C-alpha cells in the first residue's frame, strides 16, 4: 500500500548494536519480473520507496538486504526505544 514508512535494521558491529533508521514514502511499483524466473514470472510483493535521505547515504549505512518496514512515521518511537536501550541510531 502507499504511504509514509519507517525503515529499520538492527546491526551488530564492532561489539555493539546500532540501528539504521530512516523514513520513506511507499508507492506501488510498476509491474516487474524477478530475474531467473521463466516468463511469465510470479508477481512477488514489493514496494517502491522514496527515501528521506540520498540513496548514497542509505547505501553507505545499509548492512543487509533485509530491512524492517512499518507503515507510518514510527521514527521517534523507535529512536526513543534505542535511547533507553543504549543503541546508537545511524
What is the tens place of the pLDDT at every residue in 71-85?
999 999 999 999 999
* pLDDT value at 8 more than 80: yes
Distance CA 81, CA 79 (A): 5
% pLDDT > 90, the chain: 58
Q: Residue 35: CB partners within 8 Å, gap ≥ 6?
A: none
Mean pLDDT of 41-52: 85
Mean pLDDT of 57-84: 91
pTM of the model: 0.78
Q: Confidence band (pLDDT; 50, 70, 90) for 18?
A: very high
Amino acid at each position: 500500500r502507499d504511504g509514509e514508512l519507517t525503515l529499520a535494521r538492527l546491526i551488530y558491529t564492532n561489539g555493539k548494536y546500532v540501528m539504521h533508521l530512516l523514513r520513506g514514502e511507499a508507492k506501488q511499483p510498476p509491474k516487474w519480473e524477478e530475474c531467473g524466473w521463466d516468463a511469465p514470472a510470479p508477481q512477488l510483493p514489493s514496494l517502491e520507496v522514496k527515501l528521506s535521505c540520498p540513496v548514497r547515504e542509505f547505501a553507505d549505512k545499509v548492512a543487509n538486504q533485509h530491512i524492517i518496514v512499518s507503515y507510518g512515521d514510527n521514527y521517534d518511537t523507535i529512536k526513543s526505544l534505542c535511547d533507553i536501550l543504549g543503541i546508537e541510531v545511524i
